[in-house]
Amino acid sequence: MVDYDEVGPEKIIQVYDPKTKLRGVVVIDNTALGPGKGGCRMTPTVNEEEVKGLARAMTWKNAMADLPFGGAKSGIFANSKEITKEEKKSIVEAFGRALRGIAPAIYISAPDMYMGEEEMRQMAEAHGDHKCCTGKPLDMNGLPHELGSTGFGVAQSAFVAIEHLGLNCDQITFTVDGFGNVGTFAAKFLTERGAKFIAASDSKGVIYNPNGLDYDKLMCVKGEMGSVVKYDDGEVLPGEKIAEIKTDLFIPAAKPDIIHEANKDKVDAKIICCGANIPMSARIEEEMHEKGVLVVPDFVANAGGVISSYIESIDGKEEEVFPMIEDKVVKNTKLMLERAKEKGISARQAAIEIAKERISGSKN
Ligand code: NAD
């Protein structure tokens, strides 16, 4: 049974194609601000409940980023590791055709788990209107993932939070969980402002040096040797320890739930700026706030990706990406933190209030 509330979901569309065996679902949560925007994931476990939760997160994210997009998400039930490349392509094409009635009018897709730019090409070509999705390859006017839009936005959000606490960027330490696309770019921009990078993790473990890691050298080590733990000037720790290192700023940028029941009391950071989606539950985020930790929620800090998608959707250029992300993320992080301070509520609560006001047409 679907839980409907004052926001949505407006439409839940099941898609099925007997020929290719495509089975999928599109959830359009809310279109008050524009077509529902959100990626499509292909996993064997994706279900309507999961897609519904992700669609709602996109409603908050797009409203908070002040974009003319509503919130939506889609899922294709398939195990891309167990099907051939051709079978995957047929399924993605069938999904593209199934979107004809709704995209781009009320839904615009994008890559998510196991869906990349080639799948967006296949989806758009099968659909017939390239505006049905973003995240397409460069030759289809896509904006490359390698630009680091999301990590850049996470750093912008962190700068605002640092200032909000009366700290100086060149006097703080920071740690990063997940030295991938989001984590490396966030670390790059923080390092450039003088913050001391003391720990990073990837799937192999943590590298920690309280005197500072050399960002460029760490990038080379990760690129050439495959893992941050191969960096020779620091202590190697087990992966989960990243959340327990004493630091001014912690950036989760890998998997969900890096902060959980068993380690939440060991977290020793002044600010947590969420690059990853759902790095802790909303309840733990509230507990962190009560303990005095400033948590910038995922849907505010990691909006750089969807802002870049917006630019792609209006045929904008690469040069417009960073200025627009900086403008929107800085403005909205400030708005959220001022509201939170004024009302004595958590940053998440303040952000949801602002997003709801925008959706319902109230001014802020
Ligand atoms: P990525 O695959 O480029 O990088 C992920 C990194 O996490 C890799 O370095 C990997 O080694 C590391 N990792 C994997 N398992 C780990 C573990 N158990 N412990 C520590 N590190 C581990 O992914 P990404 O694009 O950087 O995305 C990271 C997170 O940010 C995800 O939660 C994603 O949903 C979220 N996000 C990404 C974007 C984007 O534009 N890329 C936008 C919004 C949110």
Contact 336, 350 (CB under 8 A): yes
Give CA separation, 148 vs 106, 184, 272, 279, in Å.
28, 8, 20, 20
CA-proximal residue: ligand 1, atom 4 (nearest):
180
For 286, the enclosing helix (H) or strand (E) is helix 282-290
Per-residue confidence in pLDDT tens, the chain, 364 aa:
568 999 999 999 999 999 999 999 999 999 999 999 999 999 999 999 999 999 999 999 999 999 999 999 999 999 998 999 999 999 999 999 999 999 999 999 999 998 999 999 999 999 999 999 999 999 999 998 788 999 999 999 999 999 999 999 999 999 999 999 999 999 999 999 999 999 999 999 999 999 999 999 999 999 999 999 999 999 999 999 999 999 999 999 998 899 999 999 999 999 999 999 999 999 999 999 999 999 999 999 999 999 999 999 999 999 999 999 999 999 999 999 999 999 999 999 999 999 999 999 854 4
CA-proximal residue: ligand 1, atom 16 (nearest):
203
CA distance 182 to 189: 11
CA 127 to the chain's CA centroid? 26
CA-proximal residue: ligand 1, atom 8 (nearest):
180
10: number of Cβ within 10 Å: 18
CA distance 337 to 161: 8
Q: DSSP assignment of 66-80, as one string?
A: T-S-EEEEEEEE--T
CATH assignment of the domain containing 204: 3.40.50.720
Residue 6 lies in a domain: no
The answer, yes or no, to whether the previous bond of 279 is cis (omega within 30 of 0) is no
Ligand 1 atom closest to Cα of residue 308:
40
Same domain, 88 and 165: no
Contact 175, 207 (CB under 8 A): no
Exposure b/e, 350-364, CB count within 10 A at least 16 = b? bbbbbbeebbeeeee
Residue 63 lies in a domain: no
Question: At 167, which amino acid appears?
Answer: L
CA distance 290 to 294: 9
Q: 141, 167, 184: which is the final residue of a domain? A: 141
Same domain, 265 and 338: yes
How many angstroms is it from 37 CA to the middle of ligand 1? 21
The whole-model pTM stands at 0.94
Q: 141, 164, 186: which is the final residue of a domain? A: 141
Ligand 1 atom closest to Cα of residue 112:
34
Mutate to test the pocket of ligand 1, among 73, 176, 203 (most ligand atoms within 8 A of CB): 203
Contact 56, 38 (CB under 8 A): no
For 249, the enclosing helix (H) or strand (E) is strand 247-252
How many angstroms is it from 3 CA to the middle of ligand 1? 30
Residue 364 lies in a domain: no
Read off the DSSP letter of residue 233: S
Same domain, 278 and 318: yes
Residues with CB under 6 A from ligand 1: 150, 177-183, 201-203, 239, 253-255, 275-277, 302, 305
CA distance 364 to 305: 23
How many angstroms is it from 181 CA to the middle of ligand 1? 7
Same domain, 129 and 161: no
Give CA separation, 299 vs 66, 178, 324, in Å.
12, 18, 17
Provide CB contacts within 8 A for 294, sequence distance 6+.
Answer: 161, 164, 165, 270, 271, 272, 337, 347
Tokens of 80: 């891309």
Residue 3 lies in a domain: no
Residue 207 lies in a domain: yes
- pLDDT at residue 2, rounded to an integer: 65
Same domain, 94 and 157: no
Question: At 247, which amino acid appears?
Answer: T
State yes or no: is 73 an active-site residue.
yes
CA-proximal residue: ligand 1, atom 14 (nearest):
203
Same domain, 95 and 192: no
Please tell me whether residue 125 adopts helix, strand or coil conformation. helix
Ligand 1 atom closest to Cα of residue 227:
11
Residue 1 lies in a domain: no
CATH assignment of the domain containing 129: 3.40.50.10860
CA distance 232 to 237: 13
Same domain, 183 and 111: no
Query: Residue 84's domain spans which residues?
Result: 11-57+70-141
Closest by alpha carbon to 173, among 251, 240, 230, 238?
A: 251
Domain count within the chain: 2
Which residue in the list 52, 73, 196, 222 is annotated as catalytic?
73
- pLDDT at residue 170, rounded to an integer: 96
- pLDDT at residue 362, rounded to an integer: 58
Tally: H helices and E strands in the chain: 11, 13
How many angstroms is it from 219 CA to the middle of ligand 1? 15
CA distance 45 to 102: 24
Same domain, 296 and 170: yes
Closest by alpha carbon to 91, among 53, 28, 55, 42?
A: 42
Residue 252 lies in a domain: yes
Ligand 1 atom closest to Cα of residue 275:
30
Same domain, 74 and 185: no
For 10, the enclosing helix (H) or strand (E) is none
Phi, psi of 14 (to 5 degrees): -90, 135
CA distance 107 to 263: 39
Q: 113, 141, 169: which is the final residue of a domain? A: 141
Ligand 1 atom closest to Cα of residue 202:
21
CA distance 248 to 273: 11
Same domain, 178 and 251: yes
β 205-208/235-237 pair status: antiparallel
Residue 65 lies in a domain: no
Same domain, 49 and 178: no
Same domain, 131 and 177: no
